[in-house]
Each structure stands twice: as C-alpha cells, then as structure tokens.
C-alpha cells in the first residue's frame, strides 16, 4: 500500500511539474511572439515536450492562456492580501501593496508583458479574469483608503472611485514604462515615490 501511494504521489508531482513547465513556456512564447502569432509547436519546443503532450494538460492555446490567468489571479492576490495584512496603518498597507505589486511583475517579466498586453488589447478570452483581478485590486485599495480616512491619515472629501482608479492607473503606467525600457532599472524602487505622490500630492501645501 505504501509503495502504491508513493508511486501515485510521484506521478502527480511529475504531472504537476510538466504542467507548470508547459505553462511557463507558453507565457514566454506569448510574451515574445504575441498570443495570436504563437503556436502549440513553439510552446512544445520551449517546454521540451512533444506537441501531443500539450493536449494532455490543455485543450488548446486559448485554454493555456485562460488557465494561466486563473492560476496567477489566485497566486498574486493571495500575496497582495498577505502583504497588506502585515501592516497596521493605511499608509503602510498601501506601501506594502504597491511594493508587492511591482515586485511580482519584476520577478516575472514575461507575465508582466502578457498581463499588460491582455489588459490593454484584450483577446476577450481572459476578459473575465482581468476584470476580476482589477476589481479585487480596487477593493483592496478601497479598504486601505477607508481605513486611512478613519485614522485621519487620508482626507475624507475624496471621490473614492476616482482615487482607486488613479492609483491603479499610475501603477499600471509605471509598469508599462519599465517594460518598454527593457527592464533596465529596479521597478520596485518606484514604489516609495509612487506612494509619496499618492499621499502628499503635487501641491506645495500653501507655502
């Protein structure tokens, strides 16, 4: 019985390893070639498997993209939530969120390229996933802003819906700029300046 279970566990691990290898290979190909120009043959070659092996794990190229976004949505946002919950006050929560956001995209540039591409030029295949990710992010920001208002760290006369989109849009543009630069600088280093801008604004404070 023990040998049977060990064999079963080993098979599952190998299957999961191959699944992840194919998934990461696909994201690399999608990022480099563009989703529509990519082929199953290119993905298989990058993953080091036969073309037919792809279909043991994914129904199609479209299915790979959808599964990637489903997988990344949970993984990335679990990380966001943990980082936010580590801080006590709203400003530190926002700082942790932005740092983790930039760190995730810097860690996996192929993922960043694909996500930004699908966000701005959606294939409609992952429109639901992108909308869910955006809404989850905006909900986290809203929680932080409301806490900040209660703490007296953020003023109350804000149009919260506009603030949420301002923050998401600013982070999105910083990531886009980094991608177009070829990732030539530390993306995470932009977190503190961004948060300072969100909290302090650009006014001179009446001086």
Q: pLDDT tens for residues 63-88? A: 999 998 888 777 888 899 999 999 99
**Both 177 and 114 in a single domain?**
yes
Position 205 in a domain = no
| Residue 150 clears pLDDT 50, i.e. is over it | yes
Residue holding tokens 């905006």? 138
Last residue of a domain, one of 13, 35, 58: 58
The answer to whether 145 touches 152, Cβ cutoff 8 Å, is no
Count Cα neighbours of 161 within 13 Å in the Cβ-side half-sphere.
0
Last residue of a domain, one of 34, 58, 82: 58
Nearest to 163 by CA among 125, 204, 197, 114: 197
For the residues of 152-171, what is the DSSP string, one character each?
TSS-SS--HHHHHHHHHHHH
The CATH number for 27's domain is: 1.10.10.60
Long-range contacts of 181-189 (CB under 8 A, 24+ apart): 183/106, 183/109, 186/106, 187/102, 187/103, 187/105, 187/106, 188/99, 188/102, 188/103, 188/106
**Both 23 and 98 in a single domain?**
no
**Both 42 and 126 in a single domain?**
no
**Average pLDDT taken over every residue of the chain:** 87
How many folded domains does the chain comprise? 2
Q: pLDDT tens for residues 17-42? A: 889 999 999 999 999 999 999 999 99
**Both 53 and 107 in a single domain?**
no
Q: Which domain holds residue 193?
A: 61-200
**Both 148 and 177 in a single domain?**
yes
* pTM for this model (two decimals): 0.84
């Amino acid at each position: 019985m023990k040998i049977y279970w060990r064999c079963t566990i080993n098979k599952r691990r190998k299957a999961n390893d191959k699944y992840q290898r194919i998934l990461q290979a696909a994201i690399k190909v999608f990022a480099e070639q563009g989703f529509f120009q990519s082929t199953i043959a290119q993905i298989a070659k990058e993953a080091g498997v036969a073309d037919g092996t792809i279909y043991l794990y994914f129904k199609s190229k479209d299915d790979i993209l959808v599964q990637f976004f489903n997988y990344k949505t949970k993984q990335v946002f679990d990380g966001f939530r943990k980082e936010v919950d580590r801080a006590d006050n709203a400003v530190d929560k926002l700082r942790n969120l932005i740092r983790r956001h930039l760190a995730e995209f810097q860690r996996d540039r192929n993922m960043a390229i694909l996500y930004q591409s699908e966000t701005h030029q959606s294939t409609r295949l992952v429109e639901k996933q992108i909308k869910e990710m955006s809404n989850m992010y905006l909900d986290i920001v809203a929680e932080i802003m409301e806490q900040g208002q209660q703490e007296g760290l953020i003023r109350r006369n804000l149009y919260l819906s506009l603030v949420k989109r301002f923050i998401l849009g600013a982070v999105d543009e910083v990531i886009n700029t980094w991608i177009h630069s070829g990732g030539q600088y530390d993306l995470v280093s932009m977190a503190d300046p961004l948060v300072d801008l969100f909290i302090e604004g650009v006014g001179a404070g009446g001086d």
